[in-house]
Amino acid sequence: MIHVDGLTKYYHDLCAVDQISFAIQKGEILGLLGPNGAGKTTILRILAGFLQPTAGTIRVKDYSIDAHFLEIKKLLGYLPESAPLYHDMLVYDYLDYVANIREIDKRQKLPRIRRLADLCGINSVMHQPIGELSKGYKQRVGLAHAMMNDPEILVLDEPTSGLDPNQIVEIREIIKKIGQEKTVILSTHILSEAEATCDRIVIINRGKIVADDRTANLKQTLSDKSRIDLTLQNADFASLQQKLGTINGVDRLTPIEETDHHLRVSISCQGGVDPRAAIYRQIKSTDWILLEFHQETQTLENIFRELTKES
């Protein structure tokens, strides 16, 4: 459906996107993930025809952004970050205006606007100026704007930023509903969001792809790695290291805090072995007092942090 090929974008001397290539299948919900300034927005803007790449190209179906940007814009629905809309227009007038630009047939216009208003839950604000709406409603109007032409591809730039938890869940539900039949690309720096909505995640850092896999696979590779936090009383790190270091599955011990009263250690584990039973038995054999013992399963959060850490 969409092929991104060697995409590069320089802002003067600053390289925002560096030789990025990936492909998106029809019906996929793809999450572009990365810290601020990673180049997510730039990629989406190029795809939406707002910016021109310095090098490389994007092909949507049989169209390329260099030659057929108008045709691509007709296939796309795009919601920019924080949904910039005309503040002095009424919601209905705005949607009507978008429908006119999208050349939607006169007779289908009203039913279409009604359907979108239902889908995005903006029926109650149709006759209010956009500038008076709360951020969540603005975002919904933006979503309705993006879906006006029933696009095959929906591009959303940080669709849930600045919303409250309830609104986030609602917007997510809407995106999932759309994603059942459409191709959706969304960017976010919130991992739980990508985890919850996307089929596939592309992690970008400093304009380069650092990971590209299905969400389930990414989680799978993570579940092999886990961490155990341990707090003990009357123990010292050297003897703990001696006792636990040999257990199968324990990779490394790192002291977090060592005081006269207690010792906190983080144990990183590896390979599908669960060392918890062995660790407990070892501790039981001493006169240490076990204050805390819990396993932290790795989330996307951790891999994201690891991949995008400042080197």
For other proteins, the binding residues (CB under 8 A) are: 45, 48-52, 70, 73-74, 76, 78, 80, 82-89, 93, 97-98, 100-103, 142, 145
Going across the sheet that includes 183-188, the strands are: 76-79, 153-157, 183-188, 29-33, 200-205, 208-214
The smaller minimum CB distance to other proteins, of residues 86 and 280, is found at 86
Closest CB to other proteins among 102 and 206? 102
Would you say 69 or 293 has its CB closer to other proteins?
69
Question: In the bound complex, what is the minimum distance in angstroms from residue 45's beta carbon to other proteins?
Answer: 7
Q: Of the two residues 97 and 237, which places its CB atom closer to other proteins in the complex?
A: 97
Q: Give least dist CB 73 to other proteins, A.
A: 4
Provide the minimum distance between the beta carbon of 94 and other proteins in the complex, in angstroms, as a whole number. 9
CB of 84 to other proteins, least distance (A): 3
What backbone phi and psi angles, to 5 degrees, belong to 235? -110, 160
Minimum distance of other proteins from residue 96's CB (angstroms):
9
Instruction: Give CA 56 to chain center in angstroms.
Output: 24
Name residue 23's beta-bridge partners: 3
Distance CA 276, CA 41 (A): 43
Beta bridge partners of 229: 266, 294
Instruction: Round the CA-based radius of gyration of the chain to a whole number and report it.
Output: 25
Instruction: Compare residues 29 and 141 and give the one whose CB is closer to other proteins.
Output: 141
* Sheet order of strands, 289-297 included: 250-258, 262-269, 226-233, 289-297
Question: What is the smallest separation between the CB atom of 119 and other proteins, expressed in angstroms?
Answer: 19
Smaller CB distance to other proteins: residue 50 or 293? 50
